[in-house]
Amino acid sequence: MHATFRQLKMLLALAETGSITGAARVCHVTQPTVSMQLKDLAESVGLPLYEQLGKRLFLTAAGEALAQTARTIQFEWEAFEQVIGRLKGVESGRLTLAVASTAKYFVPRMLGRFCAEHPQIDISLQVLNRDGVVERLKQNRDDLYVLSMPPEDVPHGKAALLPNPLVVIAPPDHRLATGKPQRWQRLQTEPFIMRETGSGTRLAADAHFAQLGLTPRIRLELGSNEAVKQSVAGGMGLGLISRHALAADPREDGVVVLPVSRFPVPSSWWLLWPEGKRLSPVAQAFQQHLVDLAVTWETHT
């Protein structure tokens, strides 16, 4: 079996874009060149590598297996280039990250500090829902991942990053917004605006409610923190949200944090990578940067 780096890059570009046209654009070649190279690659493998469903191309099982191998080769080669660059006294490379949507409230600021210290490093940041990040982790598509609820069914390494307290929020004129401590039992009759099923926030919330023996009255399930905040500010119910998703003064978001017993829900942010993966020098540097920064993050933000 014979395959070139060039062919493998074209296969990965096809997987990302879902079309020959998109792969050609990414690889800066013509469409016929991509078609010919992928045809030669498929003949070398002995199985079709992609199929067309509607207007989009999807990898076959053989294509997925080869793409997984191609990503590993790509990561290893980039790591080698970074090592050689350091030996030459040049610090450069590429870092790819995939983070859960709530992490967008703090990861970019951490990235900003890293970029200032390492201006020659290119950064790619994917902000997705939890399922999207987990899928990319399964496929080993990035260097590092940030999640609040690591998956139990995907082998991974991890390092604690930041506390992620989930707080109860209410509109400022809510009857429980007196500033005085409230017993958690008072939440039983209140309607809640919650994140969607499967999100890290929802998984942590459901586990905490179950531990309390509380079945919340869920009025709405929404797919973003911004939607939750707006619905709570509009008086539609209480919300449970990451403190990181709120302004330093929550009133700027039109809400207040309720001091409720047994809350905030304890949770944490984690930095993850596929189990057994050898991190590139750039990824190692960023991992250490995040861990070091997280130690003082709470007092500096």
- What residue spans define the domains of the chain? 1-89, 91-162+269-300, 166-266
CATH class assigned to 166-266 = alpha beta
Q: Does the structure show a pLDDT above 90 at 53?
A: no
Q: Among residues of the chain, what percentage have pLDDT more than 90?
A: 66
Decide if 91-162+269-300 and 166-266 have a common fold. Answer: yes
- Long-range contact list for 228-231, CB < 8 A, 24+ apart? 228/193, 228/194, 228/195, 229/169, 229/253, 229/254, 229/255, 230/254, 231/193
Residue 297 pLDDT grade (very low, low, confident, very high; cuts 50, 70, 90):
low
Answer yes or no: are the C-beta atoms of 280 and 143 closer than 8 Å.
yes
Full-model pTM: 0.72
Counting beta carbons within 10 angstroms of the beta carbon of residue 240, is it exposed (0 to 12), middle (13 to 18) or buried (19 or more)?
A: buried
Q: Lowest-confidence range among 91-105, 172-186, 208-222, 256-270?
A: 91-105
Average pLDDT, the chain: 89
- Long-range contact list for 211-220, CB < 8 A, 24+ apart? 212/184, 212/262, 214/184, 214/187, 214/188, 215/188, 216/187, 216/188, 216/190, 216/192, 217/189, 217/190, 217/191, 217/192, 218/191, 218/192, 218/194, 219/191, 219/192, 219/193, 220/193, 220/194
Please state which CATH number belongs to domain 91-162+269-300.
3.40.190.10
The residue with tokens 């050609």 is 24
Q: Among residues of the chain, what percentage have pLDDT more than 70?
A: 95
The tens digit of pLDDT for each residue in 95-147 reads 899 999 999 998 988 888 888 888 888 888 999 999 999 999 998 889 999 99
Phi, psi of 270, deg, nearest 5:
-125, 145
Please state which CATH number belongs to domain 1-89.
1.10.10.10
